[in-house]
């Protein structure tokens, strides 16, 4: 298997001389393999996580290994990761009419770099992440709650002069994206099934408007709909949206014949609510706000009649 070595620098104001604090290093080492695997899943099947057992190609492609550490001022960690065309060999051996897969020479660290770059560029319309992956990134808050202030990741496409950077500011943008992402909603879609990928359980549907909608089949059901390829189908499922409010994909519950279904359902489903940054709705409570402003203020010795009289005056 083709293996590449990657360097990750943990920046801090303190110099540990290779003797790293185990608690915050442990947080980082616990989260990194999961987010790399979710990033690979997002790139190859347009969804960062699925219920059920992970496919073997995803296990292999996301099998990163911590090999060494060093550094005097900056703490440096070394990881090995397989290239995508080796780890997910069965996917890359299949032909594509319209190339959509990442370069096979990439590893999961290159794809994680794409995610971090889009977040840094405030690209709310990115194809590189979904709400689940964004929530996973937020778990790195624990890493930054200690001495580390910046994480620089180098890979084939993100070298030492142009590394992918992860900072507390990254998490602020991630939180904003999550606040603006519309909630998933139940939808009914009609169109022509013009693409199926058995290996990734993904599909594409061409709407009557000419637009293309991508989606994920229910687990294990894609073999059952092969006979519907190039035919009109009816899809029931959930629409998942980007932080920009545009449709990202359809998580299908069922795909059946759509013969006779009207064009009313052959359109891109719009988000059902106006986007609000919910992160701004959470306000910290102080000694004179929230519950603290109420507790202890009501004397508690009033009669029922006095309370009723006070309420009537307020109404």
pLDDT tens-digit profile, the chain (315 residues): 589 999 999 998 887 777 888 899 999 999 999 999 999 999 999 999 977 788 899 999 999 999 999 877 788 999 999 999 999 999 998 866 556 789 999 999 999 999 999 999 999 999 999 999 999 999 999 999 999 999 999 999 998 888 899 999 999 999 999 999 999 999 999 999 999 888 888 899 999 999 999 999 877 677 778 889 999 999 999 999 999 999 999 999 999 999 999 999 999 999 976 555 555 555 556 555 555 554 555 555 666 666 666 666 655
Q: Which of 271, 269, 125, 274 is nearest to 209 (CA)?
A: 269
Q: For residue 201, what pLDDT is reported?
A: 86
Rounded Cα distance between 245 and 124, Å, is 8
Q: For residue 151, what pLDDT is reported?
A: 95
Q: Which of 59, 164, 66 is nearest to 111 (CA)?
A: 164
The fold of the 185-265 domain, in CATH, is OB fold (Dihydrolipoamide Acetyltransferase, E2P) (2.40.50)
Q: For residue 311, what pLDDT is reported?
A: 62
Residue ranges of the chain that CATH labels 2.40.50.500: 185-265
Q: For residue 7, what pLDDT is reported?
A: 95
Angle 158-77-164 from CA coordinates, rounded to 5°: 25
Q: For residue 314, what pLDDT is reported?
A: 58
Q: For residue 296, what pLDDT is reported?
A: 55
Do 149 and 10 meet the contact criterion of CB atoms below 8 Å apart?
no
């Amino acid at each position: 298997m083709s293996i590449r070595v990657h360097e990750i620098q943990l920046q801090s104001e303190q110099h540990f001389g290779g003797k790293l604090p185990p608690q915050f290093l442990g947080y980082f080492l616990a989260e990194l393999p999961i987010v790399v695997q979710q990033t690979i899943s997002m790139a190859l099947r347009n969804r960062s996580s699925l219920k059920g057992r992970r496919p073997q190609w995803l296990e292999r492609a996301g099998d990163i290994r911590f090999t060494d550490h060093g550094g005097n001022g900056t703490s440096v960690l070394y990881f090995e990761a397989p290239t995508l065309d080796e780890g997910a060999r069965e996917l890359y051996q299949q032909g594509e009419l319209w190339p959509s897969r990442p370069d096979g020479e990439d590893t999961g660290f290159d794809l994680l770099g794409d995610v971090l770059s889009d977040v840094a560029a405030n690209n709310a319309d990115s194809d590189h992440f979904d709400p689940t992956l964004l929530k996973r990134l937020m778990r790195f808050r624990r890493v930054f709650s200690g001495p580390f202030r910046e994480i620089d990741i180098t890979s084939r496409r993100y070298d030492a002069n142009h590394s992918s950077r992860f900072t507390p500011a990254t998490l602020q943008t991630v939180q904003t994206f999550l606040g603006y992402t519309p909630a998933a909603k139940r939808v009914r879609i009609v169109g022509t099934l013009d693409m199926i990928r058995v290996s990734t359980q993904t599909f594409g549907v061409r709407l009557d408007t000419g637009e293309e909608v991508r989606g994920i089949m229910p687990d294990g059901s894609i073999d059952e709909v092969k006979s519907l390829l190039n035919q009109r189908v009816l899809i029931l499922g959930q629409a998942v949206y980007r932080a920009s409010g545009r449709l990202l994909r359809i998580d299908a519950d069922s795909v059946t014949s759509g013969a006779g279904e009207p064009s009313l359902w052959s359109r891109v489903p719009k988000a059902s609510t106006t986007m609000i940054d919910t992160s701004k709705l959470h306000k910290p409570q102080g000694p004179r706000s929230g519950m603290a402003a109420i507790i202890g203020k009501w004397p508690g010795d009033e009669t029922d009649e006095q309370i009723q009289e006070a309420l009537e005056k307020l109404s």
